[in-house]
Chain A
């Protein structure tokens, strides 16, 4: 992944056009609703305006190449973890917070460097990347011992471990994906399809949502929205087949299921955390979306599942 390769890549250019097209269509729909149907679109407009910034930013990062993508994903993971830590109160414990940050830096470093004994460069250190939870959990368990502290430590350790494994490492798979030969196809498909899945769940829920999906977790989500999003996510792998021309039918079905089901599970899993804490959003960083975690929640769940599916069938290199 380099800027030159991005310009030559059919996949990158196609996605740039598709994203631009979706943004324009979205803008037209909003305009029509506001001026044509005289509906109140204030909150939708806020959400859309944030997309106008986020979508080009992501494209620029992917255009920038492997290093830029890895750094960007790790920064997102770091700031996402910060929201989690501030929401749970873990942020007050700077030892634990520091250990998780160290782990997130390690995610970036193992994605960047190559294995010392040999192979070609620019492939990331896969073995260490996958083994990172072992070392980071070991470090987190070490902290109370070093500080000779007991009270409340189980809670701190558990929160730190969830914070690292879920937000730092699982989301970090997206960074490691930048090392794949088909990095453009994988990354752009994942980012695009997951966000489309989110938008589809929201839109289908508005259109045909009646029965609540998980009433205790997220009262606004409906069966209609969930099924509609899954249906759209199942067709996307075929529509965007140019992203991975070597995928067979089985892999396309897996891709659709992972994004369609995983995306909504990711959304719900962050909702479980928010509901238990008793807050509405994880932060207020992105107007109209909430915090960073509220935006990347689906990706956190989808990215590692897709990564290992693709890695199982086709060696990621």
Chain B
């Protein structure tokens, strides 16, 4: 007559998927789980970095108004030194700090623990496979940009320049944005190569100028190899063009 009373209810727990992993493993995975400690450290590092760049390198940012205010977008830039990423992050508003993901070489930044700590905590880097797993890395970027409000920072040259000149753009960026509405913002940093060339331990106090160009997108292209090459050539021209505006 009476139904058996239910003695307890069942709650839905959602343990963090990286719960049983040590810190280094948690930093290596992507997307990383939200972590207030890391957000706090990153915000602190960002403030220090902005002060440092402004005082030591007299960083000048031109064309900040060209950054889209809403929605996800991609930033592409020349890669002269480690300062590039820091300057680009400093150009973004602080509230976007935890939503901005510079693509960083998996084989360089995600191997040793000190570099991993800087890449994951300070820079919020996305691990990008340069030699292996390129397709998976591009897919990761695609998923990231499918969420609104994310910023992907890419250096299409794929490595820091050894000569100071702008190198060839790798087709990845083209495959990523051809045939989509995604805005791409070309940027150019000058002074980085003189300040901190590849192989030097410390940066010299050279002046840095970051120029942010007008955003563009490529919705009418049909995705493919040719479209990718076209996008690369166009973006390379845009980045190089920013260098000449003096």
Contacts and interface: CB of A to CB of B under 8 A. Distances in A.
Interface of A: 82, 86-89, 91-92, 94, 97, 101, 155, 276-285, 287
A279 B19 contact: yes
Contact of B13 (A82, A277, A280, A284): A277
B240 to A, nearest CB: 44
A284 B15 contact: no
- For chain B, the bracket of interface size reads 10 to 19
Nearest to B33: A86
Contacts of A92: 14, 34
Interface stretch (B20-28, B120-128, B157-165): B20-28
A170 to B, nearest CB: 22
Contacts of B22: 284-285, 287
A89 B14 CA distance: 4
A97 B36 contact: yes
Contact of A86 (B11, B12, B16, B23): B16
Given A278-B13, A283-B19, A284-B21, 14 more contacts: A86-B15, A86-B19, A87-B16, A88-B15, A89-B13, A89-B14, A89-B16, A97-B36, A277-B13, A281-B19, A281-B20, A283-B20, A284-B19, A284-B20
Contacts of A101: 36
A82 B33 CA distance: 13
Contacts of A88: 13-15
Contacts of B21: 284
Contact of B15 (A89, A285, A287): A89
| Best-surrounded residue of B14, B21, B37 (most CB of chain A within 10 A) | B14
Contacts of A283: 19-20
Contacts of A281: 19-20
Contacts of A89: 12-16
A277 to B, nearest CB: 5
9 contacts: A82-B36, A87-B13, A87-B16, A88-B15, A89-B13, A89-B16, A277-B13, A283-B20, A284-B23
| Best-surrounded residue of A276, A277, A281, A284 (most CB of chain B within 10 A) | A284
A46 B21 CA distance: 16
Contacts of A276: 13
A277 B11 CA distance: 9
Nearest to B17: A86
A287 B33 CA distance: 21
B52 to A, nearest CB: 28
Contacts of B15: 86-89, 277-279
Contact of B16 (A91, A97, A278, A285): A91
B7 to A, nearest CB: 14
A92 B34 CA distance: 8
A284 B26 CA distance: 10
B23 A285 contact: yes
Contacts of B11: 155
A280 B14 contact: no
B20 A280 contact: yes
Nearest to A274: B15
A92 B15 CA distance: 10
Interface in B1-51: 11-16, 19-23, 33-34, 36-37
Contacts of B34: 91-92
Nearest to B8: A276
**10 closest cross-chain pairs (CB), A and B:** A89-B14, A86-B16, A284-B22, A277-B13, A87-B15, A88-B13, A155-B11, A89-B13, A284-B20, A279-B15
A285 B20 CA distance: 9
A280 B15 CA distance: 11
B186 to A, nearest CB: 35
Given A97-B36, A155-B11, A277-B13, A87 B23 contact: no
A51 B21 CA distance: 20
A101 B23 CA distance: 21
A87 B19 contact: yes
A300 to B, nearest CB: 19
A85 to B, nearest CB: 9
A33 to B, nearest CB: 26
Contacts of B19: 86-87, 279, 281-284
Nearest to B13: A277
B85 to A, nearest CB: 27
